[in-house]
Amino acid sequence: MHNQQPHVDIVIPNFNGVEFLDTCLRSILRQTYPFFSIIVVDNGSVDNSLEFIRKQYPLVHLITWPENKGFSPAVNAGISAGNSPFIFLLNNDTELEADCLEQLVKAATLQDEYDFFAAKMISYRERHILDGAGDGFLRGGAGYRLGTMENDDALYNRPGRVFGACAGAALYRRELFDTIGLFDEDFFAYLEDVDFNLRANSRGKKCYYVPAARVFHIGSATTGSKINSFTVRLSTRNNLNLLIKNYPLVLFFRFGLALLVYQFFWLVFVVKKKQFSAYVSGVVEFIGNLPLMLKKRKEVLAGVTLTAGELAGIIVAAERDVICSIMNRRLAQGKTNRLLSLYTRWFL
């Protein structure tokens, strides 16, 4: 690479992540692509994160807040603090393969019709298991990391278009944010990248999966577990926020039964996990936020460039990818797919 290559702003949100930062930052400094800046936005950490970064990685541009404002405000601040043509959003609990950034920039240079790029995310502890190979989408208003908990095999070594990217390891053209806006700060955390992916698709923007760009991800490092009252409350609230904010009215009629099926099984899931009170809290918060989301809905739908039919086609295709991925995983685990087969026959 030479100095005419585009510069990249690497933006890392951090909250009490000192135990992960050394691995993450060392892997960035080992990158074969050298044209980047590192911006860490600290959400009020009390675990020595700031002292560690200042002492061990003084070249990092550090933005500090006295309190935890959430994932979306943190990454938005990092994006706004830079001016490079590319932004690489990265979770703090990750380790990059040495050529990860090079592979992403190479793909962005060659695939100029695409607007953002998903890295291959792999389990940090079990490096033959995928954490995600680009993001799909469910009509019920949730994202799904394709390939998650599946073996990293040839199926996920093919580059190509996907619905979106997990913001834990994705490269974006800065002009994409200029066009459709930043991440919704009222989401705080969870589904903010799903909301972004949907907004991007509704405006004809496209995401490209780059399997050669490998990122090893611990996962759930901030909240401590994947399913807890915090994740259920915010996931419930933000799922409803996303639907009200982004779906044209015709899609509520077109996807009505599928939406009800999704909401029913989400409720069954949270009851099974003994998180019903967190679910109710999420619904109550959604109702309180409804006037704000309806206001945002007008702004979002005013910028949509696809017809409702075109957007519906993209969403159904994305859901088909998700269902195929889930069924592959369940088959590998020796589980049946009767309900998913019925869902596919009725809705896809």
| CATH number of the CATH domain containing 167 | 3.90.550.10
Q: For CA atoms 148, 153, 157, 162, give the dihedral sign.
A: negative
- Give 220's pLDDT tier (boundaries 50, 70, 90): low
Distance in angstroms (rounded) separating the CA atoms of residues 343 and 348: 7
124, 191, 264, 282, 324 from 257: Cα distances, Å: 38, 22, 11, 22, 20
Mean pLDDT of 213-242: 85
Is 262 contained in some domain?
yes
pLDDT over 90 at 10, yes or no: yes
**Do 181 and 289 fall into the same domain?**
no
pLDDT of amino acid 3? 53
pLDDT over 50 at 205, yes or no: yes
Is 3 contained in some domain?
no
pLDDT over 80 at 194, yes or no: yes
**No. of H helices and E strands in the chain?**
12, 12
Is 19 contained in some domain?
yes
Is 60 contained in some domain?
yes
pLDDT over 60 at 222, yes or no: no
Mean pLDDT of 63-85: 97
45, 77, 94, 188 from 326: Cα distances, Å: 36, 35, 24, 27
Q: For the chain, list the strands marked E by DSSP.
A: 8-14, 36-43, 61-65, 86-90, 94-96, 116-123, 130-133, 135-138, 142-145, 160-162, 169-173, 207-217
**Do 74 and 94 fall into the same domain?**
yes
pLDDT over 90 at 347, yes or no: no
Name the domain boundary from 217, 243, 264: 217
pLDDT of amino acid 4? 77
Is 1 contained in some domain?
no
Domain count, the chain: 2
Domain that holds residue 77: 8-217
pLDDT of amino acid 346? 87
Mean pLDDT of 326-337: 95
Query: Using one digit for the tens of pLDDT, what is the confidence trace for 242-288?
Result: 999 999 999 999 999 999 999 999 999 999 999 999 999 999 999 99
Distance in angstroms (rounded) separating the CA atoms of residues 207 and 68: 30
- What global pTM score does this model have? 0.94
Query: Using one digit for the tens of pLDDT, what is the confidence trace for 89-147?
Result: 999 999 999 999 999 999 999 999 999 999 999 999 999 999 999 999 999 999 999 99
Query: Using one digit for the tens of pLDDT, what is the confidence trace for 57-72?
Result: 999 999 999 999 999 9
pLDDT of amino acid 226? 73
- Give 223's pLDDT tier (boundaries 50, 70, 90): very low
**Do 184 and 209 fall into the same domain?**
yes
pLDDT over 80 at 1, yes or no: no
Distance in angstroms (rounded) separating the CA atoms of residues 47 and 263: 38
The percent of residues above 70 in pLDDT, for the chain, comes to 97
pLDDT over 50 at 231, yes or no: yes
